[in-house]
Chain A
């Protein structure tokens, strides 16, 4: 690639190569700052995309690309780097404040620009990727070490383990020598291994790698040992690549304490997200810039906004933060518990139920836990209604991260008493509901490049034949097979499909199970007895919710919940004949 600088801007004795896409002409100006060991060229796809609606500037940081190389390490300290950015902005957008989009070291140095006075009034917004303020990081470490909590200490230890290279970069001569000895040639391949991206090779790679080492040497020890309090009122959009190998996600947890106007978004991407997912960066940055320039906040952006007080109320962890979960049958039982559990771990939830009032109640509870939630009345077996739901989700949020196809109904009794209508009903909800949910939202995940999760709630009935459960168990067995096939098909897309097989758990389903071949009173008695039996078993819905969360976090394929489900699964696999024999027993309550 041959990016040609449009200008060379002087900053002290250093000359900075500046690149430009598009023209100012009333459009917002965006400045892109690259990290280590990159040069401005790392932004080329993003810059081209942004240039359709923005005036885009990028420059090679001192020592990198076509910019000149200072002669001593201290010339790489943050004051000089801020002066560089200021010089570029003064030259390229003297009248209009700019929107910064920064990555890695570009982001580290730009924190200094947005939290100090030097550039006051010149920065309209800041989109930061994978580069914390060193001062914030120092406080983050100190607060955790002081907390005495083993969990928090472990976070620090993990971050330090992720920062191994920082220590290495401080060793005299080692890193520059490696770069000069051929690491620059290996780098693109290494990058592909690390992050699965292969941006065009940079012709200045050796220089970028060898000189950039000074960024670390000039600043790390100084800032980490003597941090200052760095705050800003500038709107900040934090983009967190979930698979960043150099950063633990918790590093951002304390950011709201420094930045009151903060939006946080997570992406299924590695460290070099601008190279691997340029369109995502373009979309998110444009959406944010539009809002800062006066456009109404989009629902997705509103969801990403962190409200300082709410941020932590009721939270157990932030492991699911930023994720959007769709739960069907969310008005009660497994569905409600799943919605609440994901909310406690930071996710936002769309609660779908046939009973709108119940779904709205779940939404209220989710909000109490500090997450956002929406209720929708949908019959999951009705494709039109599911399409309306999916269209709304796509329009407002792009795609969900997790879909829990949970809604289900029960039918029990002899095959010959089970009417066609009973069959249609149970298949429509238990099977077609899962088909619609998987298809509509799976398609959205593929389109949005989301490495999401489809969780289908089956049952131990799915692998446990029983003479009085033909309709229900057939529907659940179908869900298992559907999930297995879908898992295989979606594996290449990185979309995970889980099947959850709960045992005898207490939910509304026992109270509303249709017992065919019985009059109303006998049916009510059966329902009451079934409910009682399940109550005695005491497998509560929160255990199923926990299994769902665990399946998502550990990408499990098939999860039986409860000893009876595990036992029945084992029998069906190892002793199928025994399983078929047991099916003849009268196990109905």
Chain B
């Protein structure tokens, strides 16, 4: 199958640097605000802090504005996760839930700067949460599985189904199925660097990024491709070159955990844009990463 269009070209080295820079900025934001979180703070306060921090650091647009989820909201349990109102899940919007000791949290932000966009997910807890620790440890397997299957040019739906099976084996709910269109990942495109200091957002989503995504949905449909990567038939195609924001989100009872980062897909290879991300550093610190694998 060689149906890559110019729209789905592998990014240049310069573009990769640009995407890496914004992804690092986004993770720095999450780590900074994560460290500032204190019991009593609401999701909205945390999300607002992230937004301010990012704007202060030169962010000029969004894929989506920052989200923050606390406690059982990290697991999207119950009715909020149910069928997502046809792709639109109001449970995403930060609410008035207050953080408590031992409560897991997820910070998720997707800023754009100079035309480059990141989409990251970061989780943590004030104090200790054994379930969260376990989920975060197990998330390593998903990172390795996804990139290795994409390298084998497995169809994206197959990769997503393999993730579903891994969830089943682990005993976790694949909570990314509560995301719009049950996506495990979505494409991220380079935008024009128009020099503007800010751009239009609608319902917390950046208009330019969403427009790119919608255009892509429409344009690649006739080729049997989709910029939305799920277990469904719409993703029954080989990986398309470009950048994919991959976000496996696991849930176990009341606790959810995720990471999200950009996967670079080229014509014949795939790799994570950056290995210097908090969750990888965490696995290293806990001795979970096999050094041979790291080198490979």
Q: Which residues of A contact B (CB under 8 A)?
A: 313-314, 332, 336, 340, 344, 358, 361-362, 364-365, 368-369
The 7 closest A-B pairs by CB, nearest first: A365-B171, A368-B131, A368-B134, A368-B130, A336-B171, A361-B171, A313-B130
Enumerate B144-194 residues with CB–CB distance to A below 8 Å: 168-171
A-B pairs with beta carbons under 8 Å apart, 22 shown: A313-B130, A314-B131, A314-B253, A332-B168, A336-B171, A340-B171, A340-B253, A344-B253, A358-B169, A361-B169, A361-B170, A361-B171, A362-B171, A364-B134, A365-B171, A365-B252, A368-B130, A368-B131, A368-B134, A368-B252, A369-B131, A369-B253
Name the A residues within 8 Å of B252 (CB-CB): 365, 368
Name the A residues within 8 Å of B168 (CB-CB): 332
Name the A residues within 8 Å of B130 (CB-CB): 313, 368
Closest to B171 in A: A365
- Interface residues in B, total, Cβ within 8 A: 9
CA–CA, A340 and B169, complex, Å: 14
Name the B residues within 8 Å of A344 (CB-CB): 253
Which of A340, A361, A364, A365 gathers most chain B CB within 10 Å? A365
CA–CA, A362 and B252, complex, Å: 12
Name the B residues within 8 Å of A332 (CB-CB): 168
CA–CA, A358 and B170, complex, Å: 8
Given contacts A314-B253, A361-B169, A362-B171, 18 further A-B contacts (CB under 8 A): A314-B131, A332-B168, A336-B171, A340-B171, A340-B253, A344-B253, A358-B169, A361-B170, A361-B171, A364-B134, A365-B171, A365-B252, A368-B130, A368-B131, A368-B134, A368-B252, A369-B131, A369-B253
A331 to chain B, nearest CB (A): 9
CA–CA, A196 and B130, complex, Å: 44
CA–CA, A368 and B131, complex, Å: 6
Name the B residues within 8 Å of A365 (CB-CB): 171, 252
A508 to chain B, nearest CB (A): 8
Closest to B135 in A: A368
A363 to chain B, nearest CB (A): 11
CA–CA, A344 and B131, complex, Å: 13
Name the B residues within 8 Å of A364 (CB-CB): 134
Name the B residues within 8 Å of A369 (CB-CB): 131, 253
Enumerate B117-134 residues with CB–CB distance to A below 8 Å: 130-131, 134
Closest to A333 in B: B168
Closest to B253 in A: A314
Name the A residues within 8 Å of B171 (CB-CB): 336, 340, 361-362, 365
B172 to chain A, nearest CB (A): 9
Closest to B133 in A: A368
Which of B130, B169, B170 gathers most chain A CB within 10 Å? B130
Closest to A341 in B: B253
Name the B residues within 8 Å of A314 (CB-CB): 131, 253
CA–CA, A332 and B131, complex, Å: 19
B134 to chain A, nearest CB (A): 6
Binary contact track B230-265/A, C-beta < 8 Å → 1, others 0: 000000000000000000000011000000000000
Name the A residues within 8 Å of B253 (CB-CB): 314, 340, 344, 369
Closest to B82 in A: A538
Name the B residues within 8 Å of A362 (CB-CB): 171
CA–CA, A317 and B217, complex, Å: 47
CA–CA, A344 and B170, complex, Å: 18
Name the B residues within 8 Å of A358 (CB-CB): 169
CA–CA, A344 and B171, complex, Å: 15
A337 to chain B, nearest CB (A): 9
CA–CA, A174 and B144, complex, Å: 76
Name the A residues within 8 Å of B170 (CB-CB): 361
Name the B residues within 8 Å of A336 (CB-CB): 171
CA–CA, A365 and B251, complex, Å: 12
A580 to chain B, nearest CB (A): 37
CA–CA, A358 and B165, complex, Å: 13
A189 to chain B, nearest CB (A): 49
CA–CA, A313 and B168, complex, Å: 23
Closest to B102 in A: A313
Closest to A367 in B: B130
Closest to A313 in B: B130
Which of B130, B131, B169, B171 gathers most chain A CB within 10 Å? B171
Name the A residues within 8 Å of B131 (CB-CB): 314, 368-369
CA–CA, A167 and B262, complex, Å: 69
Name the A residues within 8 Å of B169 (CB-CB): 358, 361
A147 to chain B, nearest CB (A): 15
CA–CA, A369 and B253, complex, Å: 9
